[in-house]
């Protein structure tokens, strides 16, 4: 099946080839970064906990690279504690609420994670992260500690509260993702690589985080419900199901799809802010760092829309598709083209009479119009290069086998 995917999407095969050529194995990457000792171990942790983020972080400008690596690891440690269902509630809340102080405690480690926590090793050796964090410039430390404090408090709140209303949903996503957007934007500005306004217009930064988080929450419904939790707001799912388990039940499939489409529409509403935020980023490595997760998110949310497989499994975009998106997220014009084409794909999935049809149509019409009006050369032409390549391949294969057949027949004669 994977081989067929590559054959049917030759431009993805090409993107994969160039990705492999451009990206060295993890050990070679860290050697190339000229880091050693404890910071090298931090980059090892980065590779262990997120291969996708590791690649873009390691390509950042040196003024930001170590700081954002450590920012990610601090928040990953915090998130690992939040996700661990084996930690008693009171202890978990204390850890979450005090984590911004813990990162200043030399030698602190945590060895009580549950057996299923895949990132437990990070907390077991967390003194390494702390040591490197304390070597960062003070202004970097202050941003990271402030975001950790606010995020930890929000996570602690939602160990006791549930996501009921749409306001709850927005607030929870702000705590776990919007604040990441705040912190990154402030670090961009503190580094001097971006204008100070980037670190001040935090509404746009919040939307960047919410688009990613809401896409992930929408996609992960099956896994989350089976794990005994649900981050879809009750205000949405209660219209279509009696309880969370019924959302993914095959007996309730039509209603489950209605709930899914409503969640997709909520995530799609952030597209204008995403475009505005990316338009203000000037430094190339920072732009790629910001743009890559966003193009992945638009591809994922379009894949999820009206897709019953989301209710049965954790769906993901093809690996080749992801590598192609990485190769395209280099300029604002390229990103606009990517969003435009996925909006076209969304239109094709949005059938008249289906639930949320009008809402999706309004979002796609406006977003396409806005993108086309600012894109050099106007709207992209409706042409898929892959179809030409596939056709060329089939024609070539036909003539090859025809010639081979004729040659074989002549030899037999």
Q: Annotated active-site positions, please?
A: 172, 219, 229, 289
Per residue, what are the HEC states of 290-341? HHHHHHHHHHHHHHHCCCHHHHCCCCCCCHHHHHHHHHHCCCHHHHHHHHHH
- CA-closest candidate to residue 260, choices 296, 294, 225: 225
182, 202 Cβ separation under 8 angstroms: yes
Nearest to 341 by CA among 306, 376, 305, 372: 372
Q: Which two tokens stand for residue 396?
A: 């070539």
| Contact in structure between 258 and 237 (CB atoms under 8 Å) | no
Cβ–Cβ under 8 Å, residues 174 and 181: no
Distance, CA of 225 to CA of 219 (rounded, Å): 12
Asked if 274 contacts 192 with a C-beta cutoff of 8 angstroms, the reply is no
Nearest to 77 by CA among 51, 111, 53: 111
Nearest of 38, 75, 44, 74 to residue 58 by alpha carbon:
44
Whether 256 contacts 311, CB under 8 Å = yes
Tokens at 217, concatenated:
């929450």
Cβ atoms of 117 and 83 within 8 Å: the answer is: yes
Q: How far apart are CA 119 and CA 50, in angstroms?
A: 10
Q: Judge contact between 305 and 346, C-beta under 8 A.
A: yes
Q: Is 88 helix (H, G, I), strand (E, B) or coil?
A: coil
Nearest to 52 by CA among 256, 282, 212, 225: 212
């Amino acid at each position: 099946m994977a081989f067929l995917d590559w054959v049917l999407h030759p431009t993805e095969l090409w993107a994969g080839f160039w990705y492999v050529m451009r990206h060295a194995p993890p050990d070679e990457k860290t050697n190339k970064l000229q880091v050693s000792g404890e910071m090298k171990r931090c980059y090892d942790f980065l590779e262990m906990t997120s291969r996708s983020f590791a690649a873009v972080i390691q390509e950042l400008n040196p003024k930001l690279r170590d700081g954002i690596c450590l920012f990610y690891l601090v928040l990953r440690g915090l998130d690992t504690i939040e996700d661990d269902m084996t930690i008693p509630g009171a202890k978990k809340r204390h850890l979450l609420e005090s984590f911004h102080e813990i990162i200043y405690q030399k030698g602190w480690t945590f060895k009580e994670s549950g057996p299923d926590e895949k990132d437990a090793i990070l907390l077991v050796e967390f003194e390494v992260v702390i040591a490197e964090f304390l070597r960062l410039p003070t202004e970097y430390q202050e941003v990271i500690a402030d975001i950790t404090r606010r995020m930890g408090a929000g996570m602690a709140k939602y160990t006791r509260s549930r996501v009921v209303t749409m306001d709850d949903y927005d607030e929870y996503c702000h705590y776990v993702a919007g604040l990441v957007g705040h912190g990154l934007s402030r670090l961009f500005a503190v580094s001097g690589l971006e204008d100070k306004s980037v670190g001040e217009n935090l509404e746009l930064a919040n939307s960047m985080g919410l688009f990613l988080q809401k896409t992930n929450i929408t996609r992960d419904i099956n896994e989350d419900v089976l794990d005994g939790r649900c981050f879809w707001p009750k205000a949405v799912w209660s219209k279509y199901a009696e309880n969370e388990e019924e959302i993914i039940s095959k007996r309730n499939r039509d209603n489950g799809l209605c709930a899914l489409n409503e969640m997709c529409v909520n995530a799609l509403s952030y597209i204008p802010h995403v475009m505005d935020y990316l338009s203000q980023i000037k430094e190339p490595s920072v732009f790629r760092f910001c743009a890559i997760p966003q193009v992945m998110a638009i591809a994922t949310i379009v894949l999820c829309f009206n897709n019953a497989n989301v209710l049965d499994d954790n769906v993901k975009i093809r690996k080749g598709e992801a590598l192609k998106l990485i190769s395209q997220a280099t300029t604002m014009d390229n990103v606009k083209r990517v969003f435009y084409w996925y909006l076209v794909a969304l239109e094709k999935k949005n059938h008249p009479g289906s639930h949320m049809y009008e809402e999706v149509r309004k979002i796609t019409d406006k977003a396409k119009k806005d993108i086309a009006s600012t894109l050099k050369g106007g709207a992209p032409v409706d042409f898929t290069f892959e179809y030409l390549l596939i056709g060329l391949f089939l024609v070539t294969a036909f003539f090859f086998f025809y010639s081979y057949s004729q040659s074989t027949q002549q030899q037999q004669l």
